[in-house]
Structure 1
Amino acid sequence: MSNITIISGSPSDQTRLNGVLAEVVRHLEKVNISPEIIHVRNLPAQDLIQAKFDSEEIVKANKKVEDSSIIIILTPVYKACFTGVLKTYLDLLPQNGLEGKTILPIAMGGTFGHLLMIDYALKPVLSALGATHILKGTYILDNQIKKLENNQYEIDEAAKNRLETSVDFLKKSLSPEKVLEH
């Protein structure tokens, strides 16, 4: 069982959001935490679109969320909102599927003009799923992530510092026993 699950809501596998995901995972692994990762784009599209709550893959993904006390949600911003594929998956979580969990939203967009998407679009959906402990979140501009070869990415220092601050705050909410489980 992982204490932390990361939900990546990008519809593309060639996304700068992968650089953010890799940086978050690297930072967690420094304290021997190996999070579960759900790439929503890899869940069966038909199961997502047809809301197949009993789909084997959806049930497995939901079990990862259920078993975790911390959920990190990564999403690119499209048209001032989080992705439709992320919303489709969140709709398949149980009604109070985020109750009692600490949530860290991380968004990436083209302009700081969409920064409020976290507060005005994503947080209300998370609250509707029972989340009461939603952290401030982190917003990163896509131009702060340089795409290298072989689907590798480099994050600039300002964005990396914001990510590290958020993840460090999140790690402090873990009890020592939970860190030792990993």
Structure 2
Amino acid sequence: MSSIVIIHGSPTPGSRLNGLIEFVESNLQEKGIEITHVQVAELPAEALLRANFKDESIIAAVGKVEAATGVVIASPVYKASFTGVLKAFIDLLPQKGLQGKAALPLFIGGTISHLLSLDYALKPVLSVLGSRNILGGVFAIDSWVTRLEGGGFELADELRDRLTNAADELAEEIEWLDKRSQAKAETK
């Protein structure tokens, strides 16, 4: 079965980023894709800051990434880049920790001027980690995501369309990667 790990890079539990993540997750689950999560801000701060590769929580989180066919890497944009807490976790992944995986970046920021942070801040890091299936990603502006009184989020129509397309593309990529992996296993 295809699986994706969603890496939440926000240090804020109530972040509007959750609206994007929930929408994409629901879309992928409808396609029968298994989803796991890594809430980076919930990992032990001491282990992240000191790069403690032997911490059980870090081992478990890295294991989720290793087991997945695809990753969704989600972060708010601070100072034209992804969060420091996300960077601390990414630094704990093995050198080729994303090799053979499809990656979908999801970013949210206060202004469209941070749009290129996907291309110039995150994608080079994903490439260094071995991902060759880095999708275009989705950048959203905070004002496109509204918190609802009873909980949850409402997304602007254009954002919903872009997230749907991105989730569809990710599902197609991981299906292709799974088929390729099965074919390789059968020829051995």
TM (norm. structure 1) is 0.93
What's the % identity of the aligned pairs?
Answer: 44
Aligned to 1:106: 106
Shift of 1:80: 0.7
Instruction: Output aligned runs, 1:19-168, within 5 Å.
Output: 19-168=19-168
Specify whether residues 123 and 178 from structure 1 end up closer, same or farther in structure 2 by C-alpha distance, changes over 3 A only. Answer: closer
Gaps of 5+ in 1: none
Q: Residues of 2 paired with 1:79 and 1:177: CA distance? A: 34
**Matched residue type, 2:21:** L
TM (norm. structure 2) is 0.90
Query: Aligned to 2:46, what secondary structure does the other structure show?
Result: helix
Shift of 1:149: 2.7
Larger radius of gyration: 2
Q: Residues of 1 paired with 2:58 and 2:158: CA distance? A: 36
**Matched residue type, 2:116:** L
Q: Residues of 2 paired with 1:79 and 1:11: CA distance? A: 15
Query: Aligned to 1:71, what secondary structure does the other structure show?
Result: strand
Shift of 1:171: 1.0
Query: Aligned to 1:29, what secondary structure does the other structure show?
Result: helix
Shift of 1:177: 11
Q: Residues of 1 paired with 2:174 and 2:121: CA distance? A: 27
The number of residues matched between the two structures is 179
Shift of 1:47: 0.7
Map Cα deviations across residues 103-157 of structure 1 (whole Å, 9 max, x no partner).
Answer: 1111111111111000101111111212222111111111100011354211111
Map Cα deviations across residues 16-61 of structure 1 (whole Å, 9 max, x no partner).
Answer: 0111111111111211223101110111111101110111000001
Map Cα deviations across residues 49-104 of structure 1 (whole Å, 9 max, x no partner).
Answer: 11101110000010110011101100100111100000000000011101111111
- Point out 4+ residue stretches in structure 1 off by more than 6 angstroms: none
Query: Aligned to 1:146, what secondary structure does the other structure show?
Result: strand
RMSD value, Cα = 1.8
Indicate conservation of the 8 Å contact 2:102/2:131, yes or no. yes
Shift of 1:169: 1.0
**Matched residue type, 1:143:** S
Gaps of 5+ in 2: 180-188
Indicate conservation of the 8 Å contact 1:2/1:36, yes or no. no
Indicate conservation of the 8 Å contact 2:8/2:75, yes or no. yes
Query: Aligned to 1:173, what secondary structure does the other structure show?
Result: helix
**Matched residue type, 2:152:** Q
